[in-house]
Amino acid sequence: MKDLFKIGRKRKKNERSPAEIALLVENVMAELEVTAEEDADLNRQGKPAINKLKKLPLLTEVLSKYVVNFLTCYGCRLIFL
């Protein structure tokens, strides 16, 4: 009978599980760390380091959707690198 009415909370199509969000945040953090290292190398070579600026749209998108997850995974330290 319960199966007929599907009692319980339905998940929206675009809603992600906490594990999926954590994985997404970890991937973005890893990508931003690599980008920060690339910029540091470019700075040492005396070249313009704009790679972090190119990733800004990605960062703002993730922050706007998953700010709590991002901050709890030490995302703040990447912003200041």
| pLDDT the model gives residue 59 | 86
Residue 4 lies in a domain: no
> Is 77 within the bounds of a domain?
yes
In a domain? residue 19: no
Asked whether residue 34 is assigned to any structural domain, the reply reads yes
**Continuous H helices in the chain:** 2-5, 18-44, 51-54, 56-72, 76-79
Regarding pTM above 0.85, the answer is no
Q: What is the pLDDT of residues 17-70, one digit of tens each?
A: 878 877 888 898 899 999 999 999 999 999 999 999 999 998 888 878 877 666
How many domains is the chain partitioned into structurally?
Answer: 1
Query: Could you give the count of Cα atoms lying within 13 Å of 78 in the half-sphere of its Cβ?
Result: 26
Range of the domain at 77: 28-81
